Amino acid sequence: MTDRDHGTLLSFEYPDERRARIVADALAPEVGELDESRSSATVSRDGSVVRVRVTATDLVALRAGITSWSRLVAVAEGVSRDR
């Protein structure tokens, strides 16, 4: 990391690849939209696992990023149950 010295990787495993795809697809439009000067995130999927990598310039921004992305994942999971 360069100017984003803090980061974490959140991993969410789902019962099947289809549900993971729905969650990842729901999160994808938010990448770049929620980025600030102090934090950013990426979303990836490997089979039934969705990963959200959050990086930040400081720990306060990292905590805020983790909270925001955790909430987005929860909403996406709710949507995926309805499909």
Query: Is 12 a member of any domain?
Result: yes
Query: Is 77 a member of any domain?
Result: yes
Q: How many structural domains are present in the chain?
A: 1
* Residue span of the structural domain in which 10 resides: 6-82
Distance CA 13, CA 5 (A): 27
pLDDT tens per residue, range 14-52: 999 999 999 999 999 999 876 678 899 999 999 999 999
CA neighbor of 1 nearest in space, from 58, 77, 67, 49: 58
Query: Is 1 a member of any domain?
Result: no
Evaluate if pTM is beyond 0.75: yes
CATH number at residue 31: 3.30.310.50
Query: Is 24 a member of any domain?
Result: yes
Query: Is 72 a member of any domain?
Result: yes
CA dihedral 4, 51, 29, 78 (to 10 degrees): -130
